[in-house]
């Protein structure tokens, strides 16, 4: 039996945990304000909020695409649809700003836009306009025009900037500012009352589901009958911390949690902006690093970044115990990985870089956000105080059957970085790649693109 709260009411169901949340919301609960268009996480029409109890006894809310979210992933959670943020008589403050700025025309995208903006209200540290715009990066509108939506977002960030921005006090502030209805104050207690500990175990026929943002696009029908094991049930895998030598990331950590992590930003400040190019907020809030690695796409953004950072993975074995291997040893061929049935990625370890170093990520895709790459690449390079190259790692995606780590770069160790050396490095990289013609571009185009992107790594700091 799955239990969760939808808007202000507790819901129990025996339906298969692979049932897609939007179908449950619209067809079982009859909350038809949540709209469906692409059913692939691409448009944001189906955006809802998912809240879960946090360590301080409050509830932490994330905007998510409900069209690729299985109900098994929202056990013990608070689901908020557009019906759940309506006030009895008036519009809520976000809806009012949408109206005042003429930011809705046919209205099909509007519920999703309101919920994404509420995600901003609940999570932005300083209520900045940039954060408001970033919260909308997964929401498409085909008729209003984005200028009026941006104006509404701007108005919202200005109104909220006057308020106390403490995250712990956030729900109280938003309730007293007529952004959220009052029942939100009772949700922590309601979630505590319904919380149950799942007793799922992995067996050899289980499909492991993390965010589901790959799985529920690839085979949604089969998964509604399959035996599922939800990584979200492993609360022990939700951490980012550091020890003396590594940043340690639990196997349930999402791309958005990684993007906002203080530990990660301390060593790689560019990561916060780089990962804006990974899908969109409503997907990053569910998509995990481990899912990106296991999916084994040759163009996975997280994978390409982690390969350049020389990451290791810790795998929990089926008979207990763990084994550890370098991420680049995990890939054995196109979509072939070193992972047995019942094994899960428990942890990802990033070595903490020493001395003076540069990290950079480049990606080209058809659209700026919400799109996977044609070609992507990351670089990590140490340079000593005399400008001499130390360890150098470059990864490249979309140019080989597997996410690639470029070989033979040790030859540049000890050279002073200059334009001549940069040209030689670019040549070494492009010699090693074997792209193919596909929907994302011709082999010739991708090779040329990689050449430009590797040169761009150096332009970012040299």
Ligand X SMILES: Cc1cc2nc3c(=O)[nH]c(=O)nc-3n(C[C@H](O)[C@H](O)[C@H](O)COP(=O)(O)OP(=O)(O)OC[C@H]3O[C@@H](n4cnc5c(N)ncnc54)[C@H](O)[C@@H]3O)c2cc1C
The residue ranges that bind ligand FES (CB under 6 A) are: 36-39, 41-46, 65, 67, 104-110, 141-144
Whole-angstrom Cα distance, residue 212 to residue 152?
Answer: 31
Shortest Cβ 216–ligand X spacing (Å): 7
SS3 376: strand
- Asked if 370 is part of the footprint of ligand X (rule: CB under 6 A), the reply reads yes
What does 107 bind: ligand FES, ligand X, none (CB cut-off 5 to 8 Å by kind)?
ligand FES
Other CB atoms closer than 10 Å to residue 100's CB: what's the count? 13
Size of the site for ligand X (CB under 6 A): 35
x/- letters, 209..248, toward ligand X (CB under 6 A): xxxxxxx-x-------------x-----------------
By the 8 A CB rule, do 454 and 433 touch? no
Helix (H) or strand (E) holding 246: strand 246-250
Other CB atoms closer than 10 Å to residue 23's CB: what's the count? 17
C-alpha closest to that of 270 among 389, 361, 378: 361
Shortest Cβ 246–ligand X spacing (Å): 18
- Mark the segment that binds ligand X (CB under 6 A) among 186-194, 277-285, 306-314, 399-407: 277-285
The residue among 271 and 281 lying less far from ligand FES, judged by its C-beta, is: 281
- Asked if 149 is part of the footprint of ligand X (rule: CB under 6 A), the reply reads no
C-alpha closest to that of 306 among 337, 329, 280: 329
Q: E strands along 384-428, which residues?
A: 389-397, 404-405
Could you give the maximum distance between any two Cα atoms of the chain, in Å? 71
Shortest Cβ 155–ligand FES spacing (Å): 17
Shortest Cβ 458–ligand FES spacing (Å): 37
What does 210 bind: ligand FES, ligand X, none (CB cut-off 5 to 8 Å by kind)?
ligand X
- Mark the segment that binds ligand X (CB under 6 A) among 170-178, 220-228, 320-328, 365-373: 365-373
By the 8 A CB rule, do 137 and 281 touch? yes
What does 79 bind: ligand X, ligand FES, none (CB cut-off 5 to 8 Å by kind)?
none
C-alpha closest to that of 372 among 447, 441, 433, 429: 441
Shortest Cβ 364–ligand X spacing (Å): 12
Q: Contact with ligand X (CB under 6 A): which of 372, 374, 381, 433?
A: 372
C-alpha closest to that of 117 among 140, 99, 134: 134
By the 8 A CB rule, do 404 and 446 touch? no
Ranked by CB distance to ligand X, the top (closest) residue is 291
Q: State the residues that interact with ligand X by CB under 6 A.
A: 40-42, 207-215, 217, 231, 251, 255, 278-279, 283, 286-288, 290-292, 294-295, 300-302, 344-345, 370-372
């Amino acid at each position: 039996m799955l239990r969760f709260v939808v808007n202000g009411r507790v819901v129990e169901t025996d339906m298969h945990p692979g049932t897609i949340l939007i179908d449950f919301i619209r067809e079982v609960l009859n909350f038809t304000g949540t709209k469906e268009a692409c059913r692939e996480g691409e448009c944001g029409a189906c955006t809802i909020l998912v809240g879960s109890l946090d360590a301080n006894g409050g509830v932490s809310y994330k905007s998510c695409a409900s069209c690729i979210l299985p109900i098994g992933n929202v056990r013990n959670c608070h689901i908020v649809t557009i019906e759940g943020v309506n006030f009895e008589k008036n519009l809520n403050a976000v809806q009012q700003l949408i109206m005042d700025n003429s930011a809705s025309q046919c209205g099909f995208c509007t519920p999703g836009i309101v919920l994404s903006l509420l995600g901003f209200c609940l999570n932005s540290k300083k209520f900045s306009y940039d954060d408001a715009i970033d919260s909308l990066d997964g929401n498409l509108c085909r008729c209003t025009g984005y200028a009026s939506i941006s104006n509404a977002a701007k108005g919202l960030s200005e109104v909220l900037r006057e308020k106390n921005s403490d995250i712990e006090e956030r729900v109280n502030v938003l309730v007293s500012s007529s952004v959220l209805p009052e029942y939100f104050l009772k949700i922590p207690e309601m979630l505590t009352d319904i919380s149950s500990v799942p007793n799922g175990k992995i067996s050899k026929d289980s499909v492991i589901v993390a965010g589901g943002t790959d799985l529920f696009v690839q085979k949604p029908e089969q998964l509604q009958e399959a035996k599922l094991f939800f990584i979200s049930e492993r609360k022990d895998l939700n951490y980012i911390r550091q020890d003396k030598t590594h940043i340690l990331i639990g196997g349930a950590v999402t791309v958005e949690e990684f993007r906002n992590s203080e530990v990660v930003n301390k060593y790689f400040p560019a990561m916060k902006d780089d990962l804006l190019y990974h899908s969109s907020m409503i997907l990053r809030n569910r998509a995990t690093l481990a899912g990106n690695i296991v999916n084994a796409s040759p163009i996975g953004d997280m994978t390409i970044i982690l390969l350049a950072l020389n990451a290791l993975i810790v795998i929990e074995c089926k008979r207990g115990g763990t084994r550890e291997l370098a991420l680049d040893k995990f890939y054995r061929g196109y979509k072939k990985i070193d992972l047995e049935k019942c094994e899960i990625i428990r942890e990802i370890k990033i070595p903490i870089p020493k001395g003076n170093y540069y990290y950079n990520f480049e990606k080209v895709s058809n659209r700026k956000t919400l799109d996977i790459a044609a070609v992507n690449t990351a670089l990590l390079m140490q340079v000593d105080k005399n400008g001499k190259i130390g360890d150098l790692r470059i990864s490249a995606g979309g140019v080989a059957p597997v996410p690639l780590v470029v070989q033979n770069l040790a030859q540049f160790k000890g050279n002073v970085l200059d334009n001549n050396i940069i040209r030689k490095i670019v040549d070494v990289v492009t010699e090693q790649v074997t792209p193919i013609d596909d929907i994302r571009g011709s082999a010739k185009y991708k090779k040329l693109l990689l050449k430009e992107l590797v040169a761009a790594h150096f332009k970012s700091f040299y």
